[in-house]
Chain A
């Protein structure tokens, strides 16, 4: 074979035709092989943008009282040049969907398939409110067009629910999908390589007890995801699965939970001030 042709490598001899690579003939299941692919630099897709997750129950369901001041601040920070993706959760109607679905005996994948419809309603309402300031909907099929939107100073708004649909894995306990809007937006932030991610809820952060029930509950300023999992707090304002995801990320090393009823907190967050609660990965990982 002429030398110019040789980098193209097809390997035969065991009944199969392989493309030569470091993973040739491997099952990709071997623990030893997986360990060999660990480490090394991981690149970010769209670095230097923030991920802002707007709570469904905590913010959207409050209507104008919460949303008008918050969207005003969001429009201002966009005009000031901050680049970010807005994501949104479901809320009361999503919980109602799950209640009816559970009562009907739908499987986990069936519940995951239907619950995202509510988030689409919330996304569309949020997009309408922010449209005068350049908001556009960001759907999965256009995820790779994100830079186009950002370069024009637009505010991309997406739903949180990850597209696992019928393929939602069975839950560790019970029958509710473990992967909700918080998980979906968190994974998106990890892929983008966002330097910061914030969950905008209706409490000042994560508390030892539910602050709406016990006004004397102590706020946690900083905590690792592993420790938060260990503590198993009854009223966590974010999905538990986000904590498991954070322990395995390569790029995103923390997130914050802030109060969207105090829009100034969002501004403070973007300026790097220590607002709300910071949850961080307990181990160091590599990044490019």
Chain B
């Protein structure tokens, strides 16, 4: 009843004969020169991230004007998923967890709750304009939500949680909301990624602490990683993924505190800083 090959149960077709080529293996299909073009999953959709510490923790003064722009943009036909960062409460939770000697995976687990709180806050504020809360489990329903004309709101955190890897240095999870938002956009082959923060873009150092920090309007991920710059406006994991991206080859960082920047970025204007894939 069962056929075996090298002691393993085998049925015809398990090693698909692609184009009639006998002996096609997974390794040959996966080889760089044989790769097929990637199917874009949702190429018309932007992935936006509302900063946690930079925007949400400022309350109404910062949040409301950005939401006004976003509601108008949705009416104007822009499609986007709105994601949230954590902010100061996530930092406090990390500080408690570090003090307790908890491993990185636990920091990732407890840190995940805060962006969910922030996403729920935005959902309440945007409900009357079609804001709906979307969890990773509902991710495959995004096309439905887009067709309904609603505004999907998600936590930016990737669903790694207990499976977050211990980083080389320190114990803070390397994949937080910037990385989650980027990876989501890379999977979707999205129209673009926009990080809405409270600075004009990427600086040579943290501009809140170093008044001599200079704005960098455009740079490649590799240049930035190799520069040895200590503080960067997005998580380093984003730069590492961007450097080997298949679909999402740039990210933009804009200042949500300046009226009109979100709209300008969605209209394709060159505002803020851009970090690209490349050497």
Residues in A lying within 8 Å of B, measured CB to CB: 14-38, 40-43, 45, 57, 61-63, 65-66, 92-93, 95-96, 98-100, 102-110, 140, 143, 162-176, 184, 187-188, 190-191, 202, 212, 245, 247-251, 288
Which of B102, B167, B230, B245 contacts A30, CB < 8 Å?
A: B230
Least distance between A160 CB and chain B CB atoms (Å) = 10
A108 to B206, CA, bound (A): 33
Contacts of B10 in A (CB 8 A): 92
A29-B234, A31-B169 given as contacts; is B29 within 8 A of A99 (CB)?
yes
In this assembly, does B144 line the interface, its C-beta being within 8 Å of a C-beta of chain A?
A: no
**Contact assessment for B183 and A109 in the assembled complex, using a CB-CB cutoff below 8 Å:** yes
Among B72-80, B92-100, B211-219, B260-268, the one that faces the other chain is B92-100
Which B residues, 109 to 168, have Cβ-Cβ distances below 8 Å to chain A? 136, 139, 158-168
Measuring CB to CB, which residues of chain B are less than 8 angstroms from any residue of chain A? 2, 4, 6-10, 14-16, 18, 24, 26, 29-32, 35-39, 41, 53-54, 57-59, 61-62, 88-89, 91-92, 94-96, 98, 100-106, 136, 139, 158-172, 176, 180, 183-184, 186-189, 198, 206, 208, 230-237, 241, 244-247
Q: Which residue of A lies closest to B206 (CB)?
A: A27
Contacts of A95 in B (CB 8 A): 26
5 pairs, CB–CB < 8 Å, chain A vs chain B: A17-B58, A40-B98, A41-B101, A45-B103, A247-B168
Whole-angstrom distance between the Cβ of B191 and the nearest chain A Cβ: 15
Closest residue of chain B to A16 (Cβ to Cβ) is B57
Q: Is the CB of A288 within 8 A of B230?
A: no
Question: Does A174 lie within 8 Å of B35, measured CB to CB?
Answer: yes
Chain B residues near A30 (CB, 8 Å)?
A: 206, 230-231
CA distance A43 to B106 in the complex (A): 10
- Contact between B39 and A174, CB atoms less than 8 A apart: no
Docked-complex contact B247 and A34, CB < 8 angstroms: no
Given that A31-B230, A63-B9, A108-B246 are contacting pairs, would A245 and B162 also be in contact in the complex, using a CB cutoff of 8 Å?
no
For A187, give its contact among B89, B98, B105, B167 (CB under 8 Å): B105
A172 x B244 contact (CB < 8 A): yes
Q: A29-B234, A107-B189, A170-B244 are in contact. List 19 more A-B contacts (CB 8 A).
A: A15-B58, A18-B57, A23-B94, A27-B233, A28-B172, A29-B236, A34-B169, A34-B172, A38-B169, A43-B100, A96-B14, A99-B24, A99-B26, A103-B16, A107-B246, A109-B186, A143-B162, A174-B31, A250-B166
Tell whether, in the assembled complex, residue A191 and residue B139 are in contact, meaning their CB atoms are under 8 Å apart.
Answer: no
Distance, CA A184 to CA B58, complexed state (A): 38
A17 interface neighbour in B8, B57, B187, Cβ under 8 Å: B57
Contact A16 B53 (CB under 8 A): yes
Taking each of A96, A164, A170, A174, which has the highest tally of chain B beta carbons within 10 Å of its own beta carbon?
A: A170
A164/B231 contact (C-beta < 8 A), A16-B88, A99-B26 known: no
Are B183 and A169 closer than 8 Å at their CB atoms?
yes
Instruction: Choose among A20, A42, A98 the residue that contacts B101 (Cβ–Cβ < 8 A).
Output: A42
Partner of A92, one of B14, B24, B91, B206: B14
Q: Is the CB of A248 within 8 A of B167?
A: yes
Could you tell me the distance between the alpha carbons of A106 and B39 in the complex, rounded to whole angstroms? 6
Residues of B within 8 A of A41 (CB): 101
Query: Which one of A22, A28, A43 lies within 8 Å of B176 (CB-CB)?
Result: A28
Task: State A26–B127 Cα separation when bound (angstroms).
Answer: 32
| Docked-complex contact B38 and A105, CB < 8 angstroms | yes
Residues B170 and A34 in contact, CB atoms below 8 Å apart:
yes
Write out the residue numbers on chain A whose beta carbons fall within 8 Å of the beta carbon of B247.
Answer: 107
Asked whether, in the complex, the Cβ of B246 is within 8 Å of the Cβ of A42, the reply is no
Task: Decide if B241 touches A170 in the complex (CB within 8 Å).
Answer: yes
Q: By the criterion CB–CB under 8 Å, are B95 and A29 in contact? A: no
User: What is the CA–CA distance of A187 and B173 in the complex, to the nearest angstrom?
Assistant: 13
Pair B208/A25 contact, Cβ less than 8 Å: yes
By a CB distance below 8 angstroms, the chain B residues around A22 are: 95, 98
Q: Contact check: which of B180, B198, B246 meets A175 at CB < 8 Å?
A: B246
Contacts of B159 on A, CB cut-off 8 Å?
163-165, 167
How far is the CB of A161 from the nearest CB of chain B, in Å?
9
Whether A166 pairs with B35 at a CB distance below 8 angstroms is no
State whether A110 touches B41 (Cβ < 8 A): yes
A104 near B105: Cβ-Cβ < 8 Å: no
CB distance from B87 to the nearest CB of A (A): 8
Closest-by-CB residue of B relative to A59 is: B8
- Residues of B within 8 Å of A17, CB to CB, are 57-59, 88
